[in-house]
């Protein structure tokens, strides 16, 4: 429970992204050795790169000299050269050369630096840390049953015109299925029925405990008797972990705040069933359709949200959305009070009609 008179949270304003957390920057495959890519995250210009040895790195994409975007310059696998006056920076952001300045006027090694961001790479994803204190950050989830160098077999990235909170709530909302995802491959036309699911708190989030999935034809292709578990973790990661026989499939969905009203959704699917891999080109259109349905709904929603109406989070179908807001608020409060994060979610059965 929250203390009776909590201090005002500092940054839980609607759609303000959490800081002191890791965000997915890109799939590992998007940044090849010796290359850099430019990306905006949390409104900040980021240069994402990978050195010759294969280590990923992230720098602020602004030359400290006169503001030129460093990502537009050449990268030799060790140093980025600013195209404007040729200043060079290593992958830690240290300025290593200022060609126009004569010897006696050189500022000296290590004096000039462009901001570098902590980077981690795990199971085919590159994560960038935004904030000051990495020890506060929710752990990057490790997908059980897959090695550290696992790569998703299928990945789709879409940009949503909406803020991070609206996107998270849209992502975890169990009630829009029959309205938004009307597809032959996912739902039949049958009437809705009551679903009852057990939820438990889990690190920095909550988990719909392992159960037999009932409603969907999409699980049938896996064979065996699949069971599934769905977890949400701050700042904005949701993954469905399916076990079928000896095999694992995981739908790993992450949201990355691009700017105040743009959010990137990355849907990555991992599986260990070898026979599923040749079907990837067939699966992709279904994943695209499914994501587009979510994306279109949330984009249309923005027409109403532009008027900043008060919103209702009603009953069990919206309980996960309420938990998200509580988790986010608790993360901010724990930080402000200098105490450990205390998960506000309690074990509960949620019921809804879908």
Binding site for Fe ion (CB under 5 A): 294
Q: Please report how close the Cβ of residue 158 comes to Fe ion at its closest, in angstroms.
A: 12
Q: Does 82 bind ligand FES (CB under 6 A)?
A: yes
Q: Quickly tell me which residue has 């002191």 as its tokens.
A: 20
Q: Please report how close the Cβ of residue 78 comes to ligand FES at its closest, in angstroms.
A: 17
Q: Does 95 bind ligand FES (CB under 6 A)?
A: no
Q: Does 331 bind ligand FES (CB under 6 A)?
A: no
CB of 20 within 8 A of CB of 130? yes
Q: Please report how close the Cβ of residue 294 comes to Fe ion at its closest, in angstroms.
A: 4
Taking Cα atoms as reference points, which of 323, 266, 270 lies closest to residue 295? Answer: 266
Q: Does 234 bind ligand FES (CB under 6 A)?
A: no
Q: Distances from the Cα of 167 to the Cαs of 172, 214, 252, 332, in angstroms?
A: 9, 26, 15, 19
Binding partner of 187, given ligand FES, Fe ion, none, CB within 5-8 angstroms per partner class: none
Q: Does 65 bind ligand FES (CB under 6 A)?
A: yes
* Residue from 60, 85, 151, 176 binding ligand FES (CB under 6 A): 85
* Residue from 30, 37, 72, 84 binding ligand FES (CB under 6 A): 84
For ligand FES, the closer CB: 98 or 237 = 98
The interface region with ligand FES, picked from 33-41, 62-70, 138-146, 276-284 by CB under 6 A, is 62-70
- What tokens appear for 164 in the block? 């991070």
Report the distance separating Cα 192 and Cα 210, nearest Å. Answer: 22
Taking Cα atoms as reference points, which of 166, 155, 159, 122 lies closest to residue 140? Answer: 122
| Percentage helix, strand, coil for the chain under 3-state DSSP, each rounded to 5 | 25, 35, 45
The interface region with ligand FES, picked from 19-27, 59-67, 166-174, 195-203 by CB under 6 A, is 59-67
Taking Cα atoms as reference points, which of 152, 104, 99 lies closest to residue 124? Answer: 152
Q: Could you count the other beta carbons within 10 Å of the beta carbon of residue 38?
A: 13
For ligand FES, the closer CB: 101 or 159 = 101
Q: Does 45 bind ligand FES (CB under 6 A)?
A: no
Q: Could you count the other beta carbons within 10 Å of the beta carbon of residue 79?
A: 18
Q: Count CA atoms closer than 13 A to 158's CA, side-chain side.
A: 19
Binding partner of 87, given ligand FES, Fe ion, none, CB within 5-8 angstroms per partner class: ligand FES
CB of 160 within 8 A of CB of 171? no
Q: Does 35 bind ligand FES (CB under 6 A)?
A: no
For Fe ion, the closer CB: 254 or 272 = 254
Q: Does 47 bind ligand FES (CB under 6 A)?
A: no
Q: Does 113 bind ligand FES (CB under 6 A)?
A: no
* Residue from 66, 111, 182, 292 binding ligand FES (CB under 6 A): 66
Query: Within the chain, where are the H helices?
Result: 164-172, 177-180, 280-305, 319-337
Q: Count CA atoms closer than 13 A to 278's CA, side-chain side.
A: 2
For ligand FES, the closer CB: 18 or 63 = 63
In this chain, which residue has its C-beta nearest to Fe ion? 294
CB of 97 within 8 A of CB of 107? no
Q: Does 36 bind ligand FES (CB under 6 A)?
A: no
Beta-carbon contacts of 196 under 8 Å, excluding residues fewer than 6 positions away, are 349, 350, 351
Contact residues: ligand FES, CB under 6 A: 63, 65-66, 68, 82, 84-85, 87
């Amino acid at each position: 429970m929250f203390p009776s008179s909590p201090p005002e949270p500092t940054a839980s304003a609607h759609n303000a992204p959490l800081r002191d957390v890791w965000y997915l920057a890109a799939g590992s495959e998007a940044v090849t050795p010796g290359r850099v890519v430019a990306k905006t995250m949390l409104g900040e210009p980021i240069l994402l790169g990978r050195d010759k040895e294969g280590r990923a790195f992230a720098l602020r994409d602004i030359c400290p000299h006169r503001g030129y975007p460093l990502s537009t310059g050449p990268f030799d696998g060790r140093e980025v050269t600013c195209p404007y006056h040729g200043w060079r920076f290593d992958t830690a952001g240290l300025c290593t050369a200022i060609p126009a300045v004569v010897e006696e006027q050189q500022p000296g090694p290590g004096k000039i630096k462009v901001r570098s961001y902590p980077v981690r790479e795990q199971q085919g994803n590159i994560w960038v840390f935004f904030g000051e204190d990495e020890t506060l950050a929710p752990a990057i989830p490790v997908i059980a049953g897959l090695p550290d160098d696992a790569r998703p077999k299928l990945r789709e990235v879409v940009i949503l015109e909406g803020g991070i909170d609206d996107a998270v709530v849209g992502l975890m909302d169990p009630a829009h299925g029959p309205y938004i995802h009307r597809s032959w491959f996912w739902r039949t036309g049958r009437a809705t029925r009551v679903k009852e699911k057990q939820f438990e708190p889990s690190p920095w989030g909550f988990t719909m405990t392992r159960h037999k999935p009932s409603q969907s034809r999409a699980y049938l292709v896996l064979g065996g008797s699949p069971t599934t578990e769905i977890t949400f973790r701050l700042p904005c990661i949701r993954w469905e972990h399916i076990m079928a026989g000896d095999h694992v499939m995981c739908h790993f969905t992450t949201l990355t705040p691009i700017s105040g009203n743009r959010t990137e959704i990355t849907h990555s699917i991992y599986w260990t069933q070898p026979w599923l891999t040749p079907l990837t080109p067939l699966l992709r259109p279904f994943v695209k359709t499914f994501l587009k349905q979510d994306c279109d709904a949330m984009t249309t929603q923005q027409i109403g949200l532009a008027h900043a109406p008060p919103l209702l989070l009603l009953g069990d179908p919206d309980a996960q959305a309420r938990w998200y807001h509580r988790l986010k608020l608790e993360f901010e409060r724990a930080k402000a009070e200098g105490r450990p994060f205390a998960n506000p979610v309690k074990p509960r059965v949620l019921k809804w009609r879908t």
